[in-house]
């Protein structure tokens, strides 16, 4: 019985397969058959192995398939930096108060004539006020470093002397006290002392979230409301060969108006957000399949002015200046999870 060329090659392949069985475990052989080997066919062409799948030439429909892409957007994280220092912690209040009383003790070797000339109005005023407040300092309460209780200079828990508001009030009351003259001892009418501005503004009291004068010790960020009702940072697609910085500047002028003096920090984004559509959208202009949007955020600072949506080109409804905790209450959870690390705590 004669065997053809195709039959000889098939027998040789089967012999090689049986030799592999002795050195390779059965599970690996099964995985390899499913992974890389093709099912043998009797109609295999001459000169080709029945265990190797012959690649088919690409069809004409493959080249005509839609290209899946993302729209690249430029976003702007526009912020107003803190305008005043933050509130002190209870530990910091107690520490600074202790340092002032320590300075009072260290100043004991110096006589008051080192600071005031004898017999001058300033010297007379010093002696009069010293009897009343029993200390050289005006903001640390009644403490005498020369008395028998000079050692008792520690701050008690809950003492009002450590509160900045109380210290300011004591300083103002001391400066508004009448000043005695050196000759007649007559008292001069007290002068009106300029008081420091409060740390809270009218916008804080009324809850105006569109004002830049609120929460002066925190960083505020500009959020805009889209026509669908979602809150987000200003953003728009990159046009042509624009860089991210140029696109961000154009986005800011088209959304929040030009009545702001702003400064873009750097040329590189500080973060990004990927938004996937529920269903891919077909772009008829470039024959592409849009999977979603990728927004790259640029950092900006506002120096003066205010946002104005009257002439915006994105049909925006409203804007707010919010801190980090307030942003979480307005934006979607997925959006906040992507931007929260870009925003400092203060």
Dump pLDDT digits (tens) for 125-148. 777 776 666 665 666 667 666 777
Whether CATH 3.90.79.10 fits 68-84+200-342: yes
Distance CA 200, CA 38 (A): 76
Q: Residues in the chain with pLDDT < 70? A: 1-65, 108-110, 112, 130-141, 143-145, 153, 177-192
- Say what the pTM is: 0.68
C-alpha distance from residue 103 to each of 21, 99, 153, 159 (Å)? 90, 6, 11, 19
Tokens representing 235?
């953003």
**What pLDDT, on the 0 to 100 scale, is given for residue 39?**
42
Give residue 114's Cα distance to chain centre: 51
**What pLDDT, on the 0 to 100 scale, is given for residue 178?**
61
> Contact at 8 Å (CB) between 195 and 172?
yes
User: According to DSSP H, which parts of the chain are helical?
Assistant: 5-23, 26-35, 60-63, 90-106, 121-133, 164-176, 202-206, 244-255, 324-330, 333-339
Residue ranges of the domains in the chain?
Answer: 5-55, 68-84+200-342, 90-176
Residue 98 neighbours by CB under 8 Å, 6+ apart: 153, 154, 155
Tokens representing 265?
């920090």
**What pLDDT, on the 0 to 100 scale, is given for residue 132?**
65
**What pLDDT, on the 0 to 100 scale, is given for residue 296?**
95
> Contact at 8 Å (CB) between 72 and 273?
no
């Amino acid at each position: 019985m004669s065997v053809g060329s195709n039959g000889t090659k098939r027998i040789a392949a089967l012999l090689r397969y049986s030799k592999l069985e002795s050195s390779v475990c059965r599970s690996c052989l099964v995985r390899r058959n499913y992974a890389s080997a093709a099912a043998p066919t009797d109609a295999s062409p001459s000169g080709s192995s029945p265990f190797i799948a012959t690649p088919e030439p690409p069809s004409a429909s493959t080249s005509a398939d839609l290209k899946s892409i993302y729209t690249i957007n430029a976003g702007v994280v526009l912020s107003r930096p803190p305008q005043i220092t933050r509130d002190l912690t209870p530990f910091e209040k107690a520490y600074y108060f202790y340092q002032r009383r320590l300075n009072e003790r260290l100043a004991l070797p110096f006589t008051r004539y080192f600071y005031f000339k004898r017999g001058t109005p300033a010297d007379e005023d010093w002696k009069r006020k010293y009897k009343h407040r029993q200390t050289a300092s005006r903001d640390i309460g009644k403490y005498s470093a020369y008395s028998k209780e000079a050692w008792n200079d520690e701050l008690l828990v809950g003492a009002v002397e450590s509160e900045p508001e109380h210290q300011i009030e004591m300083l103002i009351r001391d400066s508004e006290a009448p000043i005695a003259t050196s000759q007649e001892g007559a008292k001069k009418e007290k002068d009106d002392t300029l008081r420091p501005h409060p740390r809270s503004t009218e916008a804080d009291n009324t809850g105006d979230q569109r004002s830049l004068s609120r929460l002066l010790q925190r960083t505020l960020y500009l959020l805009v409301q889209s026509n669908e009702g979602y809150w987000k940072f200003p953003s728009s697609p990159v046009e042509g060969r624009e860089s991210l910085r140029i696109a961000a500047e154009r986005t800011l002028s088209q959304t929040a108006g030009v009545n702001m003096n702003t400064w873009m920090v750097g040329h590189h984004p500080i973060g990004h957000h990927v938004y996937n559509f529920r269903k891919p959208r077909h772009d008829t202009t470039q024959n592409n399949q849009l999977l979603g949007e990728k927004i790259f955020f640029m950092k900006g600072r506002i120096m003066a002015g205010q946002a104005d949506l009257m002439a915006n080109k994105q049909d925006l409804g409203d804007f707010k200046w919010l801190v980090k905790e307030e942003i979480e209450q307005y934006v979607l959870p997925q959006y906040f999870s992507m931007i929260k690390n870009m925003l400092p705590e203060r």
